[in-house]
Amino acid sequence: FSSRETDSKYDESSKCWRGLPHALLICTVKFFRPRHANDDKMANFHEDAPSSHVAVEKQIIHPGQVNKIRQNPQTPAMIATQSLESPYVYIWNTRTQKNRDVSSQNVQPSKPDVILKGHTQNASFWVGLLVVGTWLQVVGLAR
């Protein structure tokens, strides 16, 4: 999982991003064998160039800047995110979320599967996700 941050602003009245939206990216990364590199490819390496070994599988428009991402170990397609703009925790099923075009401007964010609104302040450090039976608990520490 990765995220993209932009300088756009969320307009509460229209429920749209003004400019390119913040996004949650679901990626597949191809790893090389240990201590194996092709000299020709290493000679052409540019730090700012996009990698051909990272494939973006799905893009989700997030309702704020993505500051925290946690994956549920029991169900890897379920992730939780949080933004500095909100104390809420957003739960996403990455298998069922639609792939969105994050290059469009003035778009509405994707709808999370669940929004947890029990937090009253931002959790500076997440301990993680805990699943007990059908219950999901987000554990965090506030400063």
Measured distance CA(4)–CA(141) in Å, rounded: 25
Q: What is the mean pLDDT of residues 65-73?
A: 83
pLDDT, tens digit, for every residue of 11-48?
777 777 787 888 888 888 877 766 666 666 666 666 66
pTM of the model: 0.70
Q: With contact defined as beta carbons under 8 Å apart, do 109 and 130 qualify?
A: no
Q: Name the token pair of 26.
A: 């679901």
Measured distance CA(26)–CA(93) in Å, rounded: 11
